[in-house]
């Protein structure tokens, strides 16, 4: 049984990861991070998940970084969140989106993991857990290469202060979204109390890339989707 700092956004993947780690017998210390995202309501879901798991919860306030994370629809008020499949993302005359990828926050994972490893030192944790899944793995800060390199850097940065075997784990990295949902269903994850929508309104919008992915994954997993969407007429595509 290890003590693990679990980076939990409040979304399906990270909450399922926390339930999975607890089921394996690990001691969790859960960390939510406010980096200026417009969908901050996900943090309330992270806190609720920690309460249900009986795990300590902390929230790192990195909201001041919002200014240097401009150009992303997730952090920049001048950039609109596009509907899935729409090439837009920049409000006319008010902002410039990251070219072709308005929902990307450059270097976000390095920022989040730096906070998590700082907490791991303080808590003498044996690992940091990050909830990326198979579809997340790409060429940049969602790659396994990045995670391996980041761990190597942190072992140098925290040498003499952290647990000597400090590790970085991504227990869902081999699972597709539908498999994550199937796992969460087996673990009785309360999916209704997770947040996915990039827009962060009162309800999931049902139109942004994250909402569409959520809907399709529930269909593919054959699991009931308890989410209330603002646009229920937008049907999930066949997986």
Q: How much is the average pLDDT of 125-153?
A: 94
pLDDT exceeds 70 at position 234 = no
| Predicted TM-score of the model (pTM) | 0.90
Q: Name the percent of the chain lying above pLDDT 90.
A: 74
DSSP string, 85-118: T----S-TTT--PSTT-TT--TTHHHHHHHHHHH
Q: How much is the average pLDDT of 161-175?
A: 96
> pLDDT grade, residue 39 (50/70/90)?
confident
Across 85-94, 160-169, 195-204, 230-239, least confident range: 85-94
- pLDDT score at 69: 87
Q: State the average pLDDT for the chain.
A: 90
């Amino acid at each position: 049984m290890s003590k693990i700092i679990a980076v939990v956004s409040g979304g399906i993947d990270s909450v399922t990861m926390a339930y999975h780690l607890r089921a394996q017998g690990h001691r969790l210390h859960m960390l939510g991070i406010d980096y200026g995202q417009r969908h901050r309501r996900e943090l309330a879901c992270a806190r609720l998940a920690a309460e249900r798991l009986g795990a300590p919860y902390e929230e790192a306030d990195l909201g001041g970084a919002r200014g240097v994370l401009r150009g992303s629809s997730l952090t920049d008020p001048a950039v609109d969140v596009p509907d899935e499949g729409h090439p837009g993302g920049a409000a006319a005359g008010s902002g410039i989106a990251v070219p072709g990828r308005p929902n990307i926050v450059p270097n976000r994972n390095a920022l989040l993991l730096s906070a998590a490893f700082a907490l791991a030192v303080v808590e003498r944790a044996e690992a940091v857990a990050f909830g990326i899944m198979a579809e997340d793995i790409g060429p940049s800060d969602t790659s396994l290469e990045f995670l391996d390199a980041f761990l190597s850097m942190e072992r140098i940065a925290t040498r003499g202060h952290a647990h000597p075997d400090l590790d970085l784990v991504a227990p869902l990295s081999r699972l597709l979204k539908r498999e994550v949902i199937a796992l969460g269903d087996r673990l009785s994850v309360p999916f209704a109390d997770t947040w996915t929508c990039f827009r962060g309104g009162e309800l999931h919008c049902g139109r942004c890339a994250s909402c569409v992915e959520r809907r399709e994954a529930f269909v593919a997993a054959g699991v009931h989707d308890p989410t209330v969407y603002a646009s229920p007429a937008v049907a999930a595509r066949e997986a």
